[in-house]
């Protein structure tokens, strides 16, 4: 039998149904609730994370935290971070200069001020002039690769090389600056200067000679006394390099940018050390002295304060024990004067280069003799000639020539 569907019947024909509201319904059930699948949630989170431009992993986050000013100490998170504690009287630029000198890359005052801006920014310091004793500074920005670091001493050296190449090259003429030429020849043979850098060293010295108005040969005499003629590794444990930069106030390695680590100078070539000499001469006012005689040039290196005494035979009152040839009559029990300095430097240069020329001439003569001699067995049995070989070997020995 067919039973009509009440819902399909017209409204007026549908049976009346009494409807009552259930007041026991929990109101919270009226709130639409969406049930989330945990797997879907994880996938959504990953998708959101991937969409974030600043997404970083744990290692990257740790690295970022280490670079923040609040955790940049070498004792927090990363013990390898180079840092320094500010001392009373320190300035940020001086801290930068000392640190760069320790890295073997001295910088000028202007460069130090520019690098201090980078250090300040890396440490969250708004004013580089305001640092406080006890504050620890992260210096890692100074240890970055040369490509990332702002122009520093490496760039300066490259520019210096370009300047030297661009300078009008003064030909090395026979008889021109003979002391300097012989000193450079000797330095090349002794291994102080690479042969390929000899011309650049020569041009650099001529440039300084024009700038500070001294004779190029006088600079050679100075280095023959101080470093055996431009030995970049000459050292007496307190003074180092071709003009003996010292750690004291008068012969300051500080003027060349090596206040905290003078021995780092020994790691630089003669050509690089000449740039330091240029800074040192400028720092000590050599340019303002007019024509610079040998005594003033040497006193600028030995004791700049002694230049105030102008009398040629007056006691210069130079402290410490100096080379014997610098004293009056070569007697260390006397004193040092301007005249004794000039006389001593000339004598010392003549002796050093004289030994070198004698040894060189004898070596050439011996080589010619051996070329024309009998077979090697007969030469070996020739005792007088063998003794001559030993004597020439002694002349050419570095320790002997020093």
Give per-residue pLDDT as tens, 120-166.
Answer: 888 888 888 888 888 999 988 887 634 333 444 445 455 544 544 44
Distance, C-alpha 106 to centroid of its chain = 4
Q: Indicate whether 170 and 287 sit together in one domain.
A: yes
Confidence at residue 315, expressed as pLDDT on a 0 to 100 scale: 95
Look at residue 99 and tell me if it is in a domain.
yes
Look at residue 125 and tell me if it is in a domain.
yes
Where is the domain boundary, 285, 301, 317? 301
Look at residue 307 and tell me if it is in a domain.
no
**Which structural domain, as residue segments, surrounds residue 226?**
157-301
Burial (CB count within 10 angstroms: exposed 0-12, middle 13-18, buried 19+), residue 119: buried
Residue 67 in contact with residue 83, Cβ under 8 Å?
Answer: no
For 108-132, write each residue's pLDDT tens digit.
777 888 888 888 888 888 888 888 8
Q: Indicate whether 163 and 297 sit together in one domain.
A: yes
Distance CA 387, CA 244 (A): 38
Q: Indicate whether 118 and 227 sit together in one domain.
A: no
Burial (CB count within 10 angstroms: exposed 0-12, middle 13-18, buried 19+), residue 36: exposed
Q: Number of folded domains in the chain? A: 2
Q: Indicate whether 136 and 173 sit together in one domain.
A: no
Burial (CB count within 10 angstroms: exposed 0-12, middle 13-18, buried 19+), residue 104: middle
Look at residue 337 and tell me if it is in a domain.
no
Residues of the chain with pLDDT under 50: 22-23, 25-39, 41-42, 45-46, 48-50, 52-56, 61-77, 145-154, 156, 160-161, 163-174, 374, 377-384, 386-387, 389-392, 394-402
Look at residue 20 and tell me if it is in a domain.
no
Confidence at residue 32, expressed as pLDDT on a 0 to 100 scale: 43
Cα–Cα nearest to 260, from 113, 94, 372: 94
pTM over 0.85: no
Confidence at residue 225, expressed as pLDDT on a 0 to 100 scale: 95
Q: Indicate whether 188 and 86 sit together in one domain.
A: no
Beta strand spans in 255-346 (E): none
Confidence at residue 95, expressed as pLDDT on a 0 to 100 scale: 92
Look at residue 321 and tell me if it is in a domain.
no
Confidence at residue 317, expressed as pLDDT on a 0 to 100 scale: 92
Q: Indicate whether 111 and 233 sit together in one domain.
A: no
Distance, C-alpha 388 to centroid of its chain = 46
H, E, C per residue of 145-205: CCCCCCCCHHHHHHHHHHHHHHCCCCCCCCCCCHHHHHHHHHHHHCCCCCHHHHHHHHHHH
Residue 186 in contact with residue 255, Cβ under 8 Å?
Answer: no
């Amino acid at each position: 039998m067919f039973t009509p569907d009440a819902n399909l019947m017209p409204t007026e024909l549908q049976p009346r149904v009494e409807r009552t509201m259930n007041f026991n319904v929990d109101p919270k059930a009226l709130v639409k609730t969406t049930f989330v699948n945990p797997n879907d949630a994880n996938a959504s989170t990953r998708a959101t994370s991937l969409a974030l431009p600043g997404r970083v992993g744990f290692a990257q986050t740790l690295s970022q935290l280490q670079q923040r000013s609040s955790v940049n100490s070498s004792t927090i998170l990363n013990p390898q971070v180079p840092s320094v504690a500010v001392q009373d009287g320190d300035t940020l630029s001086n801290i930068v200069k000392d640190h760069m000198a320790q890295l073997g890359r001295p910088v000028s005052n202007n460069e130090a001020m520019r690098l201090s801006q980078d250090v300040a920014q890396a440490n969250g310091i708004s004013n580089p002039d305001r640092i406080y004793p006890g504050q620890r500074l992260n210096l890692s920005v100074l240890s970055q690769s040369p490509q990332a670091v702002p122009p520093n001493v490496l760039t300066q050296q490259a520019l210096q090389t370009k300047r030297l190449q661009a300078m009008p090259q003064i030909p090395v003429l026979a008889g021109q600056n003979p002391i300097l030429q012989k000193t450079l020849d000797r330095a090349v043979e002794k291994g102080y200067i690479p042969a390929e850098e000899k011309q650049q060293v020569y041009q650099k010295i001529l440039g300084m000679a024009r700038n500070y108005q001294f004779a190029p040969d006088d600079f050679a005499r100075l280095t023959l006394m101080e470093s055996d003629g431009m030995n970049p590794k000459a050292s007496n444990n307190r003074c180092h390099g071709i003009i003996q930069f010292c750690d004291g106030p008068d012969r300051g390695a500080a003027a060349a940018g090596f206040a905290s680590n003078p021995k780092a100078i020994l790691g630089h070539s003669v050509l690089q050390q000449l740039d330091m000499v240029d800074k040192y001469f400028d720092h000590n006012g050599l340019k303002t002295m007019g024509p610079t005689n040998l005594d003033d040039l040497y006193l600028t290196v030995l004791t700049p304060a002694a230049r105030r005494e102008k009398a040629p035979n007056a006691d210069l009152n130079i402290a410490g024990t100096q080379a014997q040839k610098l004293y009056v009559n070569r007697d260390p029990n006397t004193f040092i004067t301007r005249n004794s300095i000039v006389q001593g430097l000339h004598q010392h240069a003549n002796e050093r280069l004289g030994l070198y020329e004698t040894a060189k001439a004898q070596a050439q003569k011996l080589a010619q003799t051996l070329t024309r001699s009998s077979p090697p067995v007969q030469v070996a049995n020739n005792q007088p000639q063998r003794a001559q070989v030993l004597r020439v070997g002694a002349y050419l020995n570095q320790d002997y020539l020093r």
